């Protein structure tokens, strides 16, 4: 199996999942730099296709399982997106707090910020 190429970054989420679906059904190698939700989707679809080809499960059952895999991907992807947004808000708030504390010069505030950020040097 040849090394998988990275998915183009300009793809929309729906285009990415369609491309992952196609690659998984072809039995291609998993592309690098996928989110956990994308990795789960890819591996699940590839396994499901192998089971259908080996006649271990009927097509109708596979269709139902595919819908479950897709729903799990959608939920997991939405959770990942929410976590990224939350981390962005936390980073922006931390940067703003750091600037205020550095400008203020209060030694207790600086030490508190240093501890909160896990810094060893001065904030």
Q: Is residue 123 part of a domain?
A: no
Q: How confident is the model at residue 107 (pLDDT cuts 50, 70, 90)?
A: confident
Evaluate if residue 51 carries a pLDDT over 90. yes
Q: Residue 92 sits in which domain range?
A: 13-117
In a domain, 8, yes or no: no
What integer is the mean pLDDT of 114-118? 82
The pTM is what?
A: 0.74
Would you state the pLDDT for residue 28?
93
3-state secondary structure the chain: CCCCCCCCCCCCHHHHHHHHHHHHHHCCCCCCCCCHHHHHHHHHHHHHHHHHHCCCCCHHHHHHHHHHHHHHHHHHHHHHHHHHHHHHHHHHHHHHHHHHHHHHCCHHHHHHHHHHHCCCCCC
Q: Is residue 34 part of a domain?
A: yes
Q: Is residue 4 part of a domain?
A: no
Residue 123: pLDDT band with limits 50, 70, 90 = very low
- The predicted pLDDT at position 8 comes to 83
Identify the pLDDT of residue 120.
63
Whether residue 1 lies inside any domain: the answer is no
The chain-wide mean pLDDT, for the chain, equals 89
Q: How many domains does the chain have?
A: 1
In a domain, 122, yes or no: no
Percent of the chain with pLDDT over 70: 94
């Amino acid at each position: 199996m040849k090394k998988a190429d990275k998915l183009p970054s300009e793809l929309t989420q729906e285009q990415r999942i369609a491309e992952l679906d196609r690659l998984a059904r072809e039995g291609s190698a998993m592309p690098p730099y996928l989110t956990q939700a994308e990795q789960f989707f890819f591996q699940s679809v590839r396994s499901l296709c192998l089971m259908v080809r080996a006649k271990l499960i009927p097509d109708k059952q596979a269709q139902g399982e595919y819908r479950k895999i897709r729903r799990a991907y959608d939920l997991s992807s939405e959770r990942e997106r929410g976590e990224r947004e939350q981390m962005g808000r936390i980073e922006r708030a931390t940067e703003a707090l750091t600037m205020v504390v550095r400008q203020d010069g209060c030694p207790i505030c600086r030490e508190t910020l240093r501890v909160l950020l896990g810094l060893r040097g001065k904030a």
